[in-house]
Structure 1
Amino acid sequence: MTDERDMYQTSHLRIVPRRHWGRWIAAGVVCLLLAALVRAFINGKIEWNYVGQFLFSQSILEGLVNTILMTFAAMAVGITLGVIFAIMRISENPVLSTIATGYVWIFRGAPALLQLLLWFNLALVFPKIGIPGLFEWRTVDVMTPFVAAMLALGIQQGAYTSEVVRGGLLSVDAGQYEAARSIGMGQLLMLRRIILPQAMRVILPPIGNELIGMVKTTSLASVIQYSEILHNAQIIYYANTRVLELLLVASFWYLSAVTVLSIGQMYVERYFARGIQRLKAAG
Structure 2
Amino acid sequence: MDVLLDNSDLYVRGFVTTLQLFALSAVGSLVLGAFLAMLRVSPVPVFRSAGSLYVTVVRNTPLTLVFLFFAFAWNLLEIVRISFFTAAVTALTVYTAAFVCEVFRSGINTVPVGQAEAARAIGLTFGQTLGQIILPQATRSVFPPMVSTLIALLKNTTIAAGFSVFEAGGIRQNLSERGEPVLEGLLWVAAIFVLLVIPLTLLQRALEKRWSVAR
Q: TM-score, normalised by structure 1?
A: 0.70
Does 2:91 match 1:127? no
Q: Hey, what's the Cα distance between the residues in 2 that align with 1:147 and 1:85?
A: 22
Secondary structure of 2:178's match?
helix
| Matched residue, 2:98 | 159
| Matched residue, 2:125 | 186
RCO comparison, higher one (Cα < 8 Å, 6+): 2
| Matched residue, 1:218 | 157
Kindly provide the amino acid, as one letter, of the partner of residue 49 in structure 1: D
Does 2:164 match 1:232? no
Equivalent runs, 1:48-87 vs 2, <5 Å: 49-54=2-7, 57-87=8-38
Q: Based on CA coordinates, which of the two structures has the bigger radius of gyration? A: 1
Runs of 4 or more consecutive aligned structure 1 residues displaced over 6 Å after TM superposition: none
Kindly provide the amino acid, as one letter, of the partner of residue 174 in structure 2: I
Size of the alignment, in residue pairs?
A: 215
Does 2:41 match 1:90? yes
Report how far residue 51 of structure 1 moved.
4.0
| Matched residue, 1:117 | 68
| Matched residue, 1:204 | 143
User: What 5-or-longer segments of structure 2 have no aligned partner?
Assistant: none
User: What 5-or-longer segments of structure 1 have no aligned partner?
Assistant: 1-47, 130-138, 278-283
Q: Hey, what's the Cα distance between the residues in 2 that align with 1:173 and 1:270?
A: 22
State which of 199, 203, 208 in structure 2 corresponds to 1:260: 199
Does 2:194 match 1:251? no
Q: Residue 60 of structure 1 contacts residue 233 of structure 1 at CA under 8 Å; is this kept in 2?
A: no
Q: Hey, what's the Cα distance between the residues in 1 that align with 2:154 and 2:206?
A: 19
Relative distance call for 1:51 and 1:58 in structure 2 (3 A) is: closer
Q: Hey, what's the Cα distance between the residues in 2 that align with 1:128 and 1:168?
A: 36
CA RMSD of aligned residues (A): 2.1
Does 2:51 match 1:100? yes
Q: Residue 234 of structure 1 contacts residue 246 of structure 1 at CA under 8 Å; is this kept in 2?
A: no
Kindly provide the amino acid, as one letter, of the partner of residue 210 in structure 1: T
Q: Hey, what's the Cα distance between the residues in 1 that align with 2:115 and 2:193?
A: 41
Report how far residue 59 of structure 1 moved.
2.3
State the identity as a percent.
29
Kindly provide the amino acid, as one letter, of the partner of residue 73 in structure 1: L
Q: Residue 222 of structure 1 contacts residue 231 of structure 1 at CA under 8 Å; is this kept in 2?
A: yes
